[in-house]
Amino acid sequence: MTHQTMAHRTETLERVYAASPMRVFRAWEDPEIRRVWGAPSTDVEIRNDAADFRVGGEDVQICMAGGEAVAKVVGRYLDIVPDARIVYCEAISEGDTLLGVSLISAEFIGVGSGTRLVLTLQTVAVDGSDLLEGVKVGWTNALDNLAGMLVDA
């Protein structure tokens, strides 16, 4: 499969939690806790097919909606500093088609008795071959329509 088009974005999200960095870190470390808050939306449930929270370790999460697997997220941990930092990447696929890859850097900063979480997302979305076929059809139709308009004019 060739990926012919890419789009990139970097974004930083921040939250302040009334919990120690240790507790916030643990919510990331423990796959069962993470499964609860980590679903991409409320109608999606996460099934952990693999969880290995250590540098080089791989997580495999299946997003389930209505009992059906809708997406697969494969994560790999690149850097872990307990209670302070997690860097990992995740690849999101639908069936055999890769949709995108994200580098996720989470920083846990103690503020008083709470924690400021700074999350930086660096994401690339890629084109799958089947999607590209859709573009060709879309453009062909658009150009046919345009040609028709120009003839009528």
Partner 1 sequence: MTNHSPIDPHLLDRGFSALADATRRDIIARLSAGEASVTDLAAGYDMALPSFLQHVRVLEAAGLITTVKTGRVRTCRLETLRLADLDRWITRYHAAWQSRLDRLGDLLNQKGDTQ
Task: Using CB under 8 A, list all residues that contact partner 1.
Answer: 2, 4-9, 11, 13, 15, 17-20, 22-24, 27, 33, 36-42, 92, 99-100, 102, 113, 117, 119, 121, 123, 125-127, 131-132, 135-136, 138-140, 143, 146, 150
Which is nearer to partner 1, 80 or 117 (by Cβ)? 117
Q: Which is nearer to partner 1, 2 or 56 (CB)?
A: 2
Residue 125 CB, shortest distance to partner 1, in Å, is 4
Nearer CB in complex with partner 1: 13/81: 13
- Under 8 Å CB-to-CB from 46, ≥6 apart: which residues? 35, 38, 39, 61, 62, 63, 64
Do residues 128 and 1 make contact, with C-beta atoms less than 8 angstroms apart? Answer: yes
Least gap, CB of 115 to partner 1 (angstroms):
9
* CA neighbor of 60 nearest in space, from 35, 43, 78, 87: 35
Closest CA to 13 of 145, 109, 116: 116
Quick check: 59 and 137 in contact, CB under 8 A?
no
4 or 52: whose CB is closer to partner 1? 4
Phi-psi region of 11 (alpha: psi -120 to 50; beta: other; left: phi over 0): beta
Q: At closest approach, how far in Å is the CB of 54 from partner 1?
A: 21
User: What is the nearest approach in angstroms of partner 1 to the Cβ of residue 147?
Assistant: 8
C-alpha atoms less than 13 angstroms from C-alpha of 148 in its C-beta half-sphere = 6
Using the minimum distance from each CB to partner 1, give the nearer residue, 42 or 56.
Answer: 42
